[in-house]
Amino acid sequence: MTTALNYHQKAYVCIHVFAEERPVLLVSRPDGDWCLLCGDEHVEDASEYRVVGLGHMVDQDASIEAALDLEFGWEAERSAGDHPWQKRPIPAEEPDRG
């Protein structure tokens, strides 16, 4: 590893990534916690996610490491497992004007 990555840093992964069914295509860091997701829709339910060590994910897929220099409030997305990461600030939720 080239970054000062805390191997045991907590990361939330979706069940698809956890089961190694799909590659990580979306990395986000909304408030300091890392989320590594397959990019598909997920139900907002704890049963859809698992908590793992961040270093374990990098061991599994070294290309993830290139996305792990995100600041708080940023996300990185790629369209396939061998594509470069596109980093951007996480879009703000549209305020409910209803």
Binding region for Zn ion (CB under 5 A): 14, 16, 38, 40
Closer to Zn ion by CB, 14 or 58: give it: 14
- Both tokens of residue 44? 């907002």
- Both tokens of residue 28? 């986000």
- Residue 9's contacts (CB-CB under 8 Å, 6 or more residues apart) are 34, 53, 54, 55
Closer to Zn ion by CB, 11 or 14: give it: 14
Q: Smallest gap, in angstroms, from Cβ of residue 74 to Zn ion? A: 20
Q: Smallest gap, in angstroms, from Cβ of residue 21 to Zn ion? A: 8
